Structure 1
Amino acid sequence: MARTAEQNTSEGAERSLEAMLQDIAALEALAADWPEAHRNAALARSRAIDELNAEAFRRLIRSLKAAPGMAAALRRAAADEVVYAVLRRHGILKPSLFERVDAALDTIRPTLAGHGGDVELVRVEPPLAEVRFLGACDGCPASMLTFYAGVKKAIQDNVPEITEVKQAKGLGGGGAEAVHFTSPFAAQQTDGWQAAVALAELPDGATKVVEVAGHSLLLSRFGDKVTCFENACAHMGMPLDGGEIADGLITCPYHAFQYSLESGECLTAPEVQLQPQGVRVVGERIEVHLAE
């Protein structure tokens, strides 16, 4: 016979944080149809209890910290997910580094969602954070521009302790049906676009080297998609335009590093990528937006 939550609790069985949060959510949902005065009264009572509990926790922790060895014991206790959740709710513990990085990603998730994509935080090991694109952002030819101009910038602007941001490869949800050749972050830019070349000068399957504002760029066309990368091997920064191009791949003429001109991915050393730049087609003209 199924056991009730009350039976488990009365016998000392520990309940998961998820189960308890579900109970709280269910109780909050019950109040949705209450008269406004009743809801306000219940909310005021809840806040008063929260304030009482928070002050009790602060005094308890302050008292225990003075005892020999208790500081370490309190840190161990805070590692428990339920203890941590309650102390975080009351503002007694500061958000963890993982939470802060994930909160930074929240600032750019609405933009990604508008293009059918998302990003998840894989791990945080200071000074490194690793992320993974999901949905349309996974495998998109402009994903590296999204990574540099959106994800990496959001993390480093909000969490200065993180100085290195890495993109996990090959484990996302895929999104070939929703690929955008222009990064959503480049698409938001209204100023700074510069004419690069006429669309007619870049036939399907072709790659062209252009010079724009002191940047040597590789422009490639794949059907209705155009990509733009710095003309510099990620290995040692040597120009790539003297290398062999075949089947959408370019091979560095100096050390034979091979790159996809559609995604910028390095097939020789997957941990590096070509540096992307913003690109769009306006009428019969290809324009680029150079990152600062």
Structure 2
Amino acid sequence: MDASPRERDGTAPDGQRWRAAGDRIETLLEASSAGGAVARERAEELVREVAGLYGAGLTRVVELLDAGTVELLARDDLVASLLLVHGLHPHDVEARVRTALDSVRPYLGSHGGDVTLVGIVDGVVRLELTGSCRSCPSSSVTLELAVEDAVRAAAPEIEAIEAVAAQPEPAGLISADSLFSRVRSGDNAAGSWVAAPELAELVPGEVGGFSISGVPVLACRVGEQLFAYRDHCPACGHSLAGAALHRRAGYPVGDAVLRCPTCRAHFDVVRAGARLDGDGHLEPLPVLVRSGELSVAVPVGVAG
């Protein structure tokens, strides 16, 4: 894989450049195989020696820092990944997984659901999930993307993620087994994360339309929280361009209702886009900060 011009000249976002670095290293190692097994072994040995040298230096740096400073460094995605590689991260795998789950809990909560860490045994993370999908096929896909991506980013050393349902799930809730069926089968076609830094420009109460990886997206900010949906009204089938947020009379601050400018259908933005005056709901898309970049999960092959 050749580096893009933006990656070579250093103008690409840090998260993008460093994520691509691992791919380039692997590509170079594969290229060395053309010289035979011995050439490949020597290339791998060179990588190990360089990594060991920088690891020793990083260990020395961490030893000279106080705990508070190390904690601040661990909050940076790139530095945290280096600390993990060299076994220097201040938090164990369970603490990191719990923090990752906390980061996606607001999104799960917008679906009327939650996630609980059952335990981590032999590298397998076991989670208990609930979440109202309201019959929308995209909800289970995007929930899967949000949870799996957050956990694997925080704890890359884990072997697998399993979802359990300790008690029978009421009608209307996503089956935990169904939710993570793609994780177990290794199917990576559920969707992908796309950097969308432009969403950060939205101010509280503002609604904006965006095209993300060719998908029309409607995003809005309620307080400090960002919400993103496919730009498609399930009631009339039209775009939601021109829609604005409203607060219902008598409801607390944080209530946010989106009204379709075409058919006047009302949707609860904070609670998975549920329609308030009829059946149906908007199609939610997770919004998370990944490798320092605001990103949106765009599902693949899911009909609206």
TM-score (normalizing by structure 1)? 0.36
**In terms of Rg, which structure is larger?**
1
Q: Which has the higher contact order (CA 8 A, sep 6+)?
A: 2
TM-score (normalizing by structure 2)? 0.35
